[in-house]
């Protein structure tokens, strides 16, 4: 019996594939399983192929897994498209009313026709054919249909008890039909223990970013809808107003970014969230934040670029833009959360860093991390703290007296001059994107220019907050997998698979790339002879960054993927075997 089960539902977009996957994933999560979901969809509303994968286990998952044990196919395309993922002996459930399933090759797969539409009609409405399919899946997984009731109640309760009962009936019919006609089963692994609901949470990276922002003191989000970042907005719209926060749907990302800057200038922790195209539109204002030393947090949930690219597919190709984007030179911090938990924590921390260093902090997530809902144990609430940096209080300014405050005071060893906020007496100043004097008037004289540039550069010269370099696996290993952000899960899992076969690797992962953690990384690289840099882009932006910052030119190999699908375990294992000539290692 495998340790985890892969289940997938697929069909045409607009057929309710998403809600089918959601219901099943949430139901399994509520029963106590750990789930990891992955949504494959297209940038259109009706038609096209979409699928929703749910991987379930009795322990925490960090990847959606390569394999599918049960495939619910609402159309023939779903079978063809996902055939290669099916395990030996897998089940395909399809609607006999719609089509006759054909196997593309002779592999041993159970094509199980179920009259989904008919059974749905019998239950009250043909629209419930997805419920019938879930019922059949429950039979394959040896689950009690009644265990799904709370989720059904939650989803359809508003429509009245009759609708709930109809849906339950559809589930039961699907279960009964499969039980009667087919013997193939893929029971879910036994749950190890009953886990309290408070330490068994279901969240996506996007939701975690929203929550992290709120916990971090953010009370203002300005954003413009864009896949795959919009869910951050949704979360904030639902939650911020309950805790005194505001969400503004801006007319475009230029406005969104400038609004976030305006709110931060006024003293409210504020952020904007977007994806590539919007991030590009924010570049000029990013420079304004840098030059005017206004804190701001920008979340870029990356998708495949350039331009409109593959708008509903994942990528890690905005790294260079995050590191270097905007004309001129500014100081910035770039964080690359590895997990849902880190989406929460680093977004919260981004606000401390933004205020402490008075500059833009960019949180680089991506579609895979942002939109994959999964079970986690907890959010690290105990690590939340607030540090507003050098922020003057009314009393401080009163003591200083009139006309002494200098917003861009040059006489600061760490390069950080104190902020005053509108409304405060004696703190009047103008924040500006022009080069400026200590009091904040635009200047063009060379000594002042040089002094202000140097002042801003001092701010990050001694950045010690957290290294953002994580190391797993065998410390002495001479072979290392390197990644940043969302690939943490797949790399860890690949490393563990290899370790189980006796190949001991190291895994180094970044969750901060600017300023680049040179020392910590060099330390982690001690003894490393061969490195495989794994990243979801076509040019190897992280590998180039490493080469620029620390070297290792001869030791870096690349594993790149840029077709929109997230990495599979298998391709990382295969590439590792190739690059590291495994077998030599231990």
Partner 1 sequence: MSTMADFKAEKPTWCPGCGDFGVLNAMQKACVNLGLAPEQVVVVSGIGCSGKMSQHFGGYGVHSLHGRSLPTAQAVKLANRELTVFAAGGDGDGYGIGMGHFIHAMKRNIDMTYVVMDNHIYGLTTGQASPTSDVGHQTKTSPHGTIESPIAPLQLALAQNCGFVAQGFSGNLKQLISLIERAVTHKGFSLVNVFSPCVTFNKINTYDFYREHLVNLDEEAGYNTHDRLTALDRVVGASNLVTGVIYEDPTRLSFADELFGYPKQPLAQASLELSKENYAEILTSFQ
Contact between 270 and partner 1 per CB under 8 A: yes
Name the segment binding partner 1 (CB under 8 A); options: 52-60, 102-110, 192-200, 447-455.
192-200
State the residue for tokens 């009370």: 219
Given 47, 157, 241, 306, the residue binding partner 1 (CB under 8 A): 241
> CA–CA separation, 257 vs 402, rounded Å?
33
Rg of the chain over all Cα atoms, to the nearest angstrom: 26
Given 433, 449, 528, 582, the residue binding partner 1 (CB under 8 A): 433
Given 121, 219, 449, 557, the residue binding partner 1 (CB under 8 A): 219
Name the segment binding partner 1 (CB under 8 A); options: 82-90, 140-148, 380-388, 447-455.
380-388
Residue 345: CA count within 13 A, CB half-sphere: 17
Contact between 382 and partner 1 per CB under 8 A: no
Query: CB 281 → partner 1: shortest distance, Å?
Result: 11
Q: Which helix (H) or strand (E) holds 492?
A: helix 488-500
Q: Positive or negative, the Cα torsion across 63, 68, 71, 76?
A: positive
Query: CB 339 → partner 1: shortest distance, Å?
Result: 15
> CA–CA separation, 50 vs 580, rounded Å?
36
Sheet with 479-484, edge to edge strand ranges: 469-473, 506-510, 479-484, 530-535, 556-560
Given 106, 194, 198, 500, the residue binding partner 1 (CB under 8 A): 198
Query: CB 159 → partner 1: shortest distance, Å?
Result: 21
How many amino acids of this chain bind partner 1 (CB under 8 A)? Answer: 68
Nearest one of 266, 267, 268 to 247, comparing CA atoms = 268
Given 137, 258, 358, 487, the residue binding partner 1 (CB under 8 A): 258
Contact between 232 and partner 1 per CB under 8 A: no
Q: Which residues contact 172 (CB under 8 A, 6 or more apart)?
A: 135, 145
Contact between 266 and partner 1 per CB under 8 A: yes
Contact between 430 and partner 1 per CB under 8 A: yes
Contact between 580 and partner 1 per CB under 8 A: no
Name the segment binding partner 1 (CB under 8 A); options: 196-204, 223-231, 471-479, 507-515.
196-204
Query: CB 548 → partner 1: shortest distance, Å?
Result: 30
Q: Which is nearer to partner 1, 42 or 254 (CB)?
A: 254
Q: Which is nearer to partner 1, 406 or 487 (CB)?
A: 406
Given 256, 298, 531, 559, the residue binding partner 1 (CB under 8 A): 256
Q: Which residues contact 270 (CB under 8 A, 6 or more apart)?
A: 218, 219, 220, 221, 222, 259, 260, 261, 263, 264, 296, 297
Query: CB 40 → partner 1: shortest distance, Å?
Result: 24
Contact between 83 and partner 1 per CB under 8 A: no
**DSSP for 176-222?**
HHHHHH-----PPPPPSSPPPGGG-EEE-HHHHHHHHHHHTT--EEE
Query: CB 545 → partner 1: shortest distance, Å?
Result: 29
Given 166, 339, 424, 536, the residue binding partner 1 (CB under 8 A): 424
Q: What DSSP state is assigned to residue 313?
A: S
Given 147, 163, 412, 432, the residue binding partner 1 (CB under 8 A): 432
Q: Is 480 left (phi over 0), alpha (psi -120 to 50) or beta?
A: beta
Residue 157: CA count within 13 A, CB half-sphere: 7
Site map 11..30 versus partner 1, x via CB under 8 A: -------------------x
Could you give phi then psi for residue 469, rounded to 5 degrees?
-115, 120
- 161-181 and 129-140 are packed helices; what angle lies between their axes, rounded to 10 degrees? 50
Given 163, 201, 497, 585, the residue binding partner 1 (CB under 8 A): 201
Q: Which is nearer to partner 1, 432 or 451 (CB)?
A: 432
Contact between 246 and partner 1 per CB under 8 A: yes
Bridge partner residues of 110 (DSSP): 91
Q: Which residues bind partner 1 (CB under 8 A)?
A: 30, 197-198, 200-203, 207, 211, 214-217, 219-220, 222, 239-246, 248, 250-252, 254-256, 258-263, 265-270, 284-285, 288, 292, 379, 381, 386, 388, 421-434, 440-442
């Amino acid at each position: 019996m495998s340790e985890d089960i892969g289940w997938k539902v697929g069909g045409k977009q607009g057929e309710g594939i998403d809600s089918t996957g959601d219901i099943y994933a949430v139901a399994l999560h509520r029963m106590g399983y750990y789930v990891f979901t992955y949504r494959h969809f297209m940038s259109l509303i009706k038609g096209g192929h979409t699928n929703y994968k749910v991987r379930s286990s009795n322990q925490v998952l960090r990847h959606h897994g390569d394999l599918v044990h049960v495939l619910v196919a609402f159309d023939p395309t779903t079978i063809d498209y996902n055939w290669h993922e099916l395990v030996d002996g897998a089940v395909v459930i399809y609607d006999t009313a719609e089509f006759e399933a054909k196997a593309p090759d002779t592999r041993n797969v159970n094509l199980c026709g179920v009259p989904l539409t008919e059974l749905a009609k019998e239950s009250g409405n043909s629209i419930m054919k997805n419920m019938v399919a879930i019922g059949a899946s429950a039979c394959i997984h040896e689950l009690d249909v009644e265990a799904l009731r709370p989720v059904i109640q939650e989803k359809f309760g508003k429509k009245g008890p009759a609708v709930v009962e109809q849906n339950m009936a559809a589930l039961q019919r699907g279960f009964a039909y499969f039980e009667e006609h087919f013997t193939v089963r893929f029971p879910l692994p036994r749950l190890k223990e009953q886990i309290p609901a408070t330490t068994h949470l279901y969240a996506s990276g996007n939701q975690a970013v929203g929550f992290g922002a709120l916990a971090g003191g953010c009370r203002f989000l300005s954003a413009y809808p864009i896949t795959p970042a919009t869910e951050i907005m949704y979360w904030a719209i639902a939650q911020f107003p309950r805790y005194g926060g505001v969400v503004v749907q801006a007319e475009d990302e230029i406005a969104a970014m400038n609004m976030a800057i305006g709110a931060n200038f006024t003293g409210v922790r504020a952020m904007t969230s977007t994806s590539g195209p919007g991030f590009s539109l924010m570049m000029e204002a990013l420079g304004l934040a840098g030059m005017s030393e206004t804190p701001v947090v920008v979340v870029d949930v990356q998708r495949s670029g350039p331009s409109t690219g593959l708008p509903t597919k994942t990528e890690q190709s905005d790294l260079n833009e995050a590191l270097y984007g905007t004309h001129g030179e500014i100081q910035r911090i770039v964080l690359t959360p590895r997990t849902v938990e880190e989406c929460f924590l680093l977004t919260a921390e981004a606000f401390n860093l933004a205020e402490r260093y008075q500059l833009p902090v960019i949180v680089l997530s991506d579609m895979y991390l942002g939109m994959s809902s999964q079970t986690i144990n907890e959010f690290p609430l105990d690590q939340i703290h607030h540090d507003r940096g050098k922020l003057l209080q009314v009393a401080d300014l009163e003591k200083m007296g009139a006309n002494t405050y200098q917003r861009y005071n040059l006489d600061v060893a760490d390069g950080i001059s104190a902020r005053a906020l509108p409304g405060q007496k004696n703190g009047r100043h103008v924040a500006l994107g022009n080069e400026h004097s200590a009091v904040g008037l635009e200047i063009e004289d060379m000594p002042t220019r040089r002094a202000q540039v140097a002042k801003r550069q001092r701010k990050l010269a001694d950045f010690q907050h957290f290294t953002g370099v994580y190391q797993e696996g065998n410390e002495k290993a001479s072979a290392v997998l390197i990644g940043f952000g969302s690939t943490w899960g797949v790399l860890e899992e690949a490393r563990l698979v290899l370790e189980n076969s006796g190949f001991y690797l190291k895994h180094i992962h970044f969750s901060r790339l600017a300023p680049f953690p040179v020392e910590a990384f060099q330390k982690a690289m001690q003894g490393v002879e061969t490195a495989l840099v794994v990243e979801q882009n076509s040019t190897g932006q992280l590998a180039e960054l490493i080469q620029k910052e620390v070297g290792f030119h001869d030791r870096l190999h690349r594993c790149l993927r840029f077709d929109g699908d997230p990495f599979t375990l298998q391709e990382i294992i295969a590439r590792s075997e190739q690059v590291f000539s495994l077998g030599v290692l231990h």
